[in-house]
Amino acid sequence: MLAWGIIGTGDISERVIADLTGLPGVRITAVWGRTAERADEFARSHGIPFATASRDELLARADVDVVYIATPAHTHADIAIEALAAGKHVLIEKPIATSADDAARVYAAATAAGRFAMEAMWMRFNPLHVEVLDRIRDGALGEISSVRASFGTPFQARGRVLTPAQSGSILRDRGIYPVTFAHWFLGAPESIVATGVFDEGVDIDGHTTTEHGAAFAQLAWSGIRFLDLTATVSGEYGWITIDPMFWAGSRARVHAGSVQKIFGSPEMVEHPREGNGYGPILAAVTEAIGRGELEHPWHTHAESLAITRTLDAVLATMTATARSVR
């Protein structure tokens, strides 16, 4: 049985715990919250035997093998490095960190400690994305020519995403999904054109065109307006579109394979979501740690670092060209 400790008692912890509870080979033994009251309340409502407001106390426990870190992004690197130094494996919420330098520090610490570390990029483990990626890598679309993906809604983003002191960023919070999706098919860009809107130093809206040899990606993200919530990969033989919300998608349309499928009725690929959708990544991490792996082949340190470098480069380009609203 792999014993999980939880660091953070916020919204995403609630949703992830619901999927972690009852997963084969898993028990949840401890939780850390910013206050003892909140940690106790969270522990009580999820049947977790130990709660604390001291991270040192949680990390010193022998009955914690792996910690799931779900605090605001600017705290991820330091907390992950504390946990690795205490000998724990780590699963760190996205984004892994607020800079590639910090992400590199986390992965170097994991390698030095001989412990598993991964960014919780759950989209990569979603059964629909696994099938779409496998089909495309098996040649369903031939050579890839472009990727288009966007994630934007005008609904109030959470405070942490908009707070300059917390390195708030809609790019890192939402744009990470389109950027990660494009990386799967095109890798790191050779050139980037990007612009965005900043409010008190926080990027709240942006878009980029990235070039990858003859191929390109058009990616957009926003916390202030709707952008369609789909993602499309196009290639020599047609295209595949993942329906909204693409990062958590359960249905894709394959416009390839015959004239009828391209222009008439595409093939539907469906994988209905189970629970909150985090079961696949949590099972994959549990199994990888059980096998003694230090990283997962589906979302490696190198891949996560490359994506974080792209986020840094897009943000730097946006900063240079931005329209500021305040």
Ligand X SMILES: NC(=O)c1ccc[n+]([C@@H]2O[C@H](COP(=O)([O-])OP(=O)(O)OC[C@H]3O[C@@H](n4cnc5c(N)ncnc54)[C@H](OP(=O)(O)O)[C@@H]3O)[C@@H](O)[C@H]2O)c1
Asked whether position 8 contacts ligand X by CB under 6 A, the answer is: yes
- Return the residue of 160, 271, 273, 309 that touches ligand X, per CB under 6 A: 160
Burial class (CB in 10 A: 0-12, 13-18, 19+), 283: middle
- Return the residue of 2, 3, 10, 283 that touches ligand X, per CB under 6 A: 10
Is there a catalytic annotation at residue 88? Answer: no
Task: Specify the 3-state DSSP secondary structure of 303.
Answer: helix
- Return the residue of 27, 61, 135, 158 that touches ligand X, per CB under 6 A: 158
- Return the residue of 1, 25, 34, 260 that touches ligand X, per CB under 6 A: 34
Closer CB to ligand X, 64 or 97, in the complex: 97
Asked whether position 11 contacts ligand X by CB under 6 A, the answer is: yes
Asked whether position 280 contacts ligand X by CB under 6 A, the answer is: no
Asked whether position 19 contacts ligand X by CB under 6 A, the answer is: no
Binding letters toward ligand X, positions 238-277, x by CB under 6 A: ----------------------------------------
Measured distance CA(22)–CA(248) in Å, rounded:
22
Question: Which listed range, 72-80, 102-110, 134-142, 317-325, lies at the site for ligand X (CB under 6 A)?
Answer: 72-80
List residues bridging with 152 in a β-sheet.
222, 227
In this structure, are residues 134 and 128 in contact, taking their beta carbons and an 8 Å threshold?
Answer: no
Q: Which of 94, 255, 296, 301 is catalytic?
A: 94
Within the chain, residue ranges assigned H as helices are 11-20, 36-46, 55-59, 76-85, 100-113, 127-137, 159-162, 170, 176-186, 259, 279-290, 301-321
- Return the residue of 6, 9, 175, 202 that touches ligand X, per CB under 6 A: 9
Measured distance CA(234)–CA(63) in Å, rounded:
48
Total number of residues binding ligand X (CB under 6 A)? 21
Closer CB to ligand X, 82 or 256, in the complex: 82
Q: Which is nearest to 147 in space by CA: 227, 230, 226, 223?
A: 230
C-alpha torsion sign, points 91, 169, 182, 100 = negative
Bridge pairing between strands 50-52 and 26-32: parallel
The residues assigned a catalytic role are 94
Residues that bind ligand X (CB under 6 A): 8-13, 33-34, 38, 70-73, 75, 93-94, 120, 122, 158, 160, 173
